[in-house]
Structure 1
Amino acid sequence: MREFWPAWSREWLDLIVPATQVLLIGLAAWLLQRLARRLISRLGEHNLPPDVLAVVRRISGFLIYAAAILLVLERLGVSAAVLWTAFTGFAAVAAVAFFAVWSVLSNIFCSVLIFTTRPFRLYEHIEVLENGEKPGLKGRVVDINLIYTTLEEDSAEGQPANTLQIPNSLFFQRAVRRFRK
């Protein structure tokens, strides 16, 4: 086929053909996604919950566009073995990093839950119960941050108050007693 083209155009064909293929893959993915959305909308007419439809729409979009990206990368010369190696390497590093920061992420998530569900409020007196036999950690809440909740213990007159920094995740592992005035 290249014999029919002038010599100066062969260089451009090496760019035009892959670019056209990438555009066609993108167009096909877009049309396929529109078709999938239309089919999912028709399924919704049969009394499927909107939550389920939204999840199915997102999953179908992700799968279609992920496949399109893989096809584009293949057309651009990236081998599937290299992609798979990169993906598994990234997944392994991400898993190790996730487990390394699990306690920090847990405390941050629990702080968000404390701020939204409000099991206790600032300046309230609370006790984190250990079990039925032992007294728990008790005091007045003086600070709530992303990792810790700070309690000020009750102290004798004239004595400095001690503070306890309790990891936020502990409030969701133990029972909390609130003392109301």
Structure 2
Amino acid sequence: MLTYSEPLIRAGQVLLILFLAWGLQRFLARGLNSLGARYPQLPAEVLLPLRGTVRWLIMGSAFMLVLERLGVSAEVLWTALTGFVAVAAVAFFAIWSVLSNLFCALLIITLGPFRIGDCVEVIESADKPGVKGRVLSVNLFYTTLEDLSEEGVGALMQVPNSLFFQKAVRRWRNGELPSPRNKEV
């Protein structure tokens, strides 16, 4: 009987930790729900992430306690976690421009600030002309423009999608740039 008592005690402790974490999470979630009902000026956009954060903190703490009861050192877990976070941060910064262009492509496709066939100009500043051309295609990283300037007629330009959200963009829907002749003063 003595050989089975220690594993049974640990199993009971693990179950107790999980049950208490679940109960605490339910108690705090109900408290946040009643707080939201009592104060209607508190927006749901605040309560929902707060409930999620509380749930993850409680369950993460319970997970750490369970691992500690099973003999895993908290120091080893903390070292592994910080190492993983450091590597993830470096990787995130290394691919930031790629992720930015992917996200901007998604925004261009869903929001439609311009369409294929439109003429667009990315304005650099008040005294410098920007990139100007007819939109031929939009892919995950670049928007391809047909150059409409006098020195580059017919050339293709690939503009990173993120540039359309960093600069002001002028757009002509009919696909034709206004001619200087039509601008009589």
TM-score (norm 2): 0.85
Q: Which residues of 2 match residues 96-115 of structure 1 at below 5 A?
A: 96-115=90-109
Question: What is the SS of the residue equivalent to 2:162?
Answer: helix
- Counterpart residue number, 1:94: 88
Question: CA separation in 1, counterparts of 2:6 and 2:173?
Answer: 77
AA aligned opposite 2:5: L
Secondary structure of 2:91's counterpart equals helix
Shift of 1:11: 3.1
Per-residue Cα deviation, 1:24-61 (whole angstroms, up to 9, x for no partner): 11111111111111111111122222222212211111
Q: Secondary structure at the match of 1:152?
A: strand
1:152 alignment partner AA: E
Matches within 5 A, 1:1-150: 9-46=1-38, 47=40, 48-150=42-144
**Structure 1 unaligned spans of 5+:** 1-8
CA–CA distance in structure 2, aligned partners of residues 63 and 129 of structure 1 = 46
Separation (CA, whole Å) in 2 of partners of 1:180 and 1:148 = 20
Alpha-carbon distance in 1 for matches of 2:153, 2:126: 29
Deviations 1:111-133 (A, max 9, x none): 12212222111111111112222
Percent identity over the alignment is 55
Corresponding residue number in structure 1 for 2:180: none
Structure 2 unpaired stretches of 5+: 175-185
**C-alpha distance in structure 1 between counterparts of 2:149 and 2:33, whole Å:** 64
Report the TM-score when normalising by structure 1.
Answer: 0.87
2:9 and 2:58 map into 1 onto residues whose CA distance is 23
- RMSD across aligned positions (CA): 1.9
1:48-107 CA-to-partner distances (Å, cap 9, x unmatched) read 222222122111111110110010010011111111111111111011111111111111
Give the distance between the partners of 1:175 and 1:41, measured in 2 at CA: 43
How many correspondences in the alignment?
Answer: 171
Alpha-carbon shift at residue 160 of structure 1 (Å): 8.2
TM-superposed deviation, 1:17 = 1.9
Distance in 1 (alpha carbons) for counterparts of 2:149 and 2:32? 64
* CA–CA distance in structure 1, aligned partners of residues 79 and 122 of structure 2: 47
Corresponding residue SS for 2:128: coil
